[in-house]
Amino acid sequence: MIRDDITVRSLIEECVEFKRPLAKASGIVLDADIKDSRASLQGDRRLLRAAVSNLIDAAMKHTRYGGHVAVGHEASHDRDSITVTYSGDGIPYDELCEMQDIFCRSNRVHEGDSQEFNRRLIGLSIARDVADLHSGRIGVRSREGKGATFSIHLPRYCMQAV
């Protein structure tokens, strides 16, 4: 793994610009919502870009035509997070449980599940593996009818202000 100095703003904007044509074709507004333009991290840019892109894909799959997806950054006392929040119906409880299994190391792909759902789980497992390589984790918060947020949480020592 290559460790580069990466500004969070540039990473998020790069992912958003890459995914924006697909979002536009799907009738989805995709934008960056970055409050701290000075935040930076050390990590493998290529891998982190893949992880964030997979989370954007998962969010767009749950977003209806006319919906909104925002990619942002949040900080807490012990970690920094890159977040992907979308408007819409949220994630049904059974799918949320499947996603939580993926986050907790299950790599199950079920024959009975739709091919689209299995592809989404594979994308989330890739994001999980990238987070693991950076000593972090991924998560999802959702309430049916209220949208959801996918996050990559990285320990504070991996991210620092410049």
Please name each of the domains of the chain with its CATH number: 4-161 (3.30.565.10)
Closest CA to 25 of 73, 52, 63, 79: 63
For residues 158 and 132, the answer to whether their CB atoms sit within 8 Å is: no
Strands (DSSP E) contained in the chain are 4-7, 29-33, 39-43, 68-75, 79-86, 137-142, 148-155, 159-161
For the segment 142-156, the average pLDDT, to the nearest whole number, is 85
Cβ distance 18 to 55 under 8 Å? Answer: no
Q: Can you name the residues that pair with 149 across neighbouring β-strands?
A: 85, 141
Tens digit of each residue's pLDDT (9 = 90 or more) over 41-64:
888 999 999 999 999 998 998 898
pTM above threshold 0.85: no
Instruction: State the residue for tokens 């703003």.
Output: 9
Strand, coil or helix: what is 142? strand
Confidence band of 143 (pLDDT split at 50, 70, 90): confident
Average pLDDT across the chain, whole number: 82
Q: So what's the pLDDT on residue 159?
A: 46
Which helix H or strand E contains 159, and what residues bound it? strand 159-161
Whole-number pLDDT of residue 75:
79
Q: Which of 81, 85, 57 is nearest to 147 (CA)?
A: 85
